[in-house]
Homo-oligomer: A and B are copies of this chain.
Amino acid sequence: MITEKTVHEFLDELASDSPAPGGGSIAALAGAMGTALTAMVCRLTIGKKKYVEVQEEMESILQEAEELRGELTRLVDEDTEAFNGVMAAFGLPKETPEQQVRRAAAIQEATHEATLVPLRVMKLVDRSLPLAVRVAEKGNKNSASDAGVAALMLQAACSGAALNVRTNLGSLKDEVFVRETTAQVKEILGRAEAGVREALAAVNKAVT
């Protein structure tokens, strides 16, 4: 699994001439980093006298952020696997008409699968960003910039995953799925943009 490599090795593998891991895995990893920073700010707030009023809320945010981090981290590897699935389908034999039909169907199925992974990243980010906003507003002021970076990483994760969803949608023939997913992407992107703006406004208040 790519997440079992060291950060150095991971970056080398990313930069290599193998297309996976690529932008899809990085979007998931950016999401995982955003939730990890959110969790850190919670931990740096919990137990501090000055923040006793938000202790319970921070504990509940911490638990949710850690769950989301686990899911987003798994998707780093899943995106790479899904991409390899698409490549495998493209590699199927295409000599006979039967093979061509089978290959085309396999490509559709694998691409559909590869669309669901970044879409899942987007949905997880959609749940993660409000947590980053909340810790930016109510968490330890000394960690305000960390909450801001959390929100920025989640936004990059969301936009990056959206690029991957849209690229895959371009090859899919299932019009209903394409239409519904396009609408979902747009909706989540809009919420992410509003979320990061809110988080950064809170951070700016805290650092100035």
Contacts and interface: CB of A to CB of B under 8 A. Distances in A.
A143 interface: yes
Contacts of A153: 26, 30, 156, 160
Contacts of A71: none
Contacts of A143: 19, 22
Interface string A144-158: 111011101101100
Interface in A1-54: 2-8, 10-12, 14-17, 19, 22-24, 26-27, 29-30, 32-33, 35-37, 39-40, 43-44
Interface size class of A (residues with CB under 8 A): 35 or more
A205 B154 CA distance: 25
Given A19-B146, A148-B160, A152-B159, 13 more contacts: A2-B7, A4-B6, A5-B6, A8-B73, A11-B36, A15-B39, A22-B146, A26-B37, A27-B149, A30-B153, A148-B163, A153-B160, A163-B207
